[in-house]
Structures are given as C-alpha cells and as structure tokens.
C-alpha cells in the first residue's frame, strides 16, 4: 500500500513540476518571442529525415507589421469569437464533439460494408488560443489527456499574455507550407511581399490554407481555396481585432 501511495505522490509531483515548467515558458513569452515551437521542431525533424535537408523559413515581425487584413481573415476563418472568449469556445467544442461522434458512427457502418472505407474525418473546434497552446508546448496526439492539458494551457495563455500577444505569436509561428512558418515567411513565399502589405483576398487565401497548408501549397489553383477565400473576405468586416 505504501509503495502505491508513493508512486501516486511521485506522479502528482511530476505533474505539478510539468505545469510549473509550462507556466514558466508562457511567462517568458510575455517579453520574448519563442525561438521555436514543439510543432516546428517536430516538422524540422520530419523534413530533415525524409529529404535529407532542413527547410525552415521564418521571420518574426511585430504585431503592427502584420496586415490587419490577415488578422481579420484568420479570426474569421479559425475562431470568430476570438476577441470575446477566455481561451475556449465551449459551444464550438460541443458542436465539434457531436459532429465527430456522428462521423465515427457513419464510418463504423461503412467499415462493416467495406473494410477499406475511409476513416471518419475529425473536426477540432479548437480556438486560436488552444491551437497555439498545442503547437507551442504539446504533441499532436489526439487523446483526452492531451486535450485537457491544451485547455488548461489555453486559460494560462489568456491570463498571462492577453489576446494581442497570443495572436502575434500565433501568426508568427503557425505553419503555412512545407517548412514555411509565420505570416512574414508566408507572404514572401506566396506573394513576394511583406505581411504588412497583404490585400484582403491574399490574406483570406492564407487563412483558408491553415488547416491543411502543405496540401493547399501543392494546389495553388484549387477551386475550393478560391471559393472559400471569397467567403472569408465577406466575413472579415465582422472580425473584431484585439
């Protein structure tokens, strides 16, 4: 019994130390730009091991040097209530959970008829803050434990950094193609101009790419990309900036 209690105590202490480590990392980010994120490092490793070379384009720019068009487009596309929630959009999360449950049921029925049927398409429902928490500090695995940690870190980011800093770090670190990270690198990669000069339509196209940037990088003439970008442009005027 004592050994079991000792192991439980060690696990709790390790969990507490991990949380303190995360909080310390977030506190540093209030004043200093992160050198890299967990996601970026994993991508750098994947690219270097598959291609034999490291491709990494990223240039940090301050919040004011990123076009408001891109800020509004990303909010409109990824997290319409970004300026108002406290890190988690519970309504969006509940809707995503419901859609995923239905999709998994349908996929299970298809699998009974066709073993080679495609698995269910999972939608996230994560806010920009949650996405930043995951990319900065966590792995990409889909487990309830990781999701719970993501939510805890999202609240910490909101309290310790604030909306504007969260959006600044997100736009400077998010993936926009194979080895392309951040708004400035994306703007030069796709449009040969700085992020400060992106037009509404250019910004909307970049925002639409975010869920699958490497896929859309290879399909620049995608009809879906163009159509969805037009929809985002129409929504941008309602996006509230922090």
The secondary structure of residue 180, as a DSSP letter, is E
Q: Are residues 166 and 241 in the same domain?
A: yes
Give domain status of residue 142, yes or no.
no
Which residues lie closer than 8 Å to 104 by C-beta, 6 or more apart?
Answer: 120
- Report whether pLDDT(123) > 50: no
- The mean pLDDT value of the chain amounts to 86
Q: Are residues 71 and 190 in the same domain?
A: yes
- The residue range of the domain holding 114 is 90-124
Q: Are residues 213 and 108 in the same domain?
A: no
Distances (CA, A) of 86 to 108, 126, 152, 162: 35, 12, 11, 10
The rounded distance, in Å, linking the Cα atoms of 168 and 65 is 10
Highest averaged pLDDT of the listed ranges 6-20, 33-47, 89-103, 175-189: 175-189
CATH number of the domain that residue 57 is part of: 1.10.3810.10
Give domain status of residue 135, yes or no.
no
And the tokens for 24?
Answer: 């310390």
Q: Are residues 168 and 183 in the same domain?
A: yes
Q: Are residues 96 and 66 in the same domain?
A: no
Q: Are residues 231 and 172 in the same domain?
A: yes
Last residue of a domain, one of 98, 124, 150: 124
- Domain total for the chain? 2
More confident residue, 185 or 87: 185
More confident residue, 96 or 133: 133
Neighbour tally for 192: CB within 10 Å: 7
pLDDT tens, position by position, 61-79: 999 999 999 999 999 999 9
Q: Are residues 176 and 233 in the same domain?
A: yes
Task: Tell if the pTM clears 0.95, that is, is over it.
Answer: no
């Amino acid at each position: 019994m004592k050994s079991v209690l000792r192991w439980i105590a060690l696990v709790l202490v390790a969990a507490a130390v991990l949380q303190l480590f995360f909080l310390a990392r977030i506190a540093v980010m209030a004043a200093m730009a992160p050198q890299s994120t967990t996601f970026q490092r994993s991508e750098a490793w994947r690219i270097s091991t598959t291609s034999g070379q490291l491709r990494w384009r990223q240039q940090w720019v301050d919040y004011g040097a990123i076009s408001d068009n891109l800020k509004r487009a990303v909010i409109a596309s990824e997290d319409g209530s970004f300026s108002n929630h406290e890190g988690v959009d519970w309504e969006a999360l509940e809707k995503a959970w419901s859609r995923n449950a239905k999709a998994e049921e349908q996929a299970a029925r298809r699998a009974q008829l066709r073993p080679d049927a495609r698995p269910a398409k999972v939608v996230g429902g994560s806010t920009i803050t949650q996405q930043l928490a995951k990319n900065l500090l966590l792995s990409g695995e889909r487990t309830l434990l990781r999701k719970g940690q993501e939510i805890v870190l999202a609240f910490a980011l909101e309290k310790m950094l604030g909306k504007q800093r969260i959006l600044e770090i997100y736009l400077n670190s998010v993936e926009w193609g194979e080895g392309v990270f951040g708004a400035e690198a994306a703007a030069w990669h796709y449009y040969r101009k700085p992020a400060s000069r992106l037009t509404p339509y250019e910004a909307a196209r970049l925002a639409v790419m975010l869920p699958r940037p490497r896929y859309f990088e290879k399909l620049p003439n995608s009809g879906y990309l163009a159509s969805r970008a037009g929809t985002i442009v129409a929504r941008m005027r309602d996006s509230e900036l922090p």
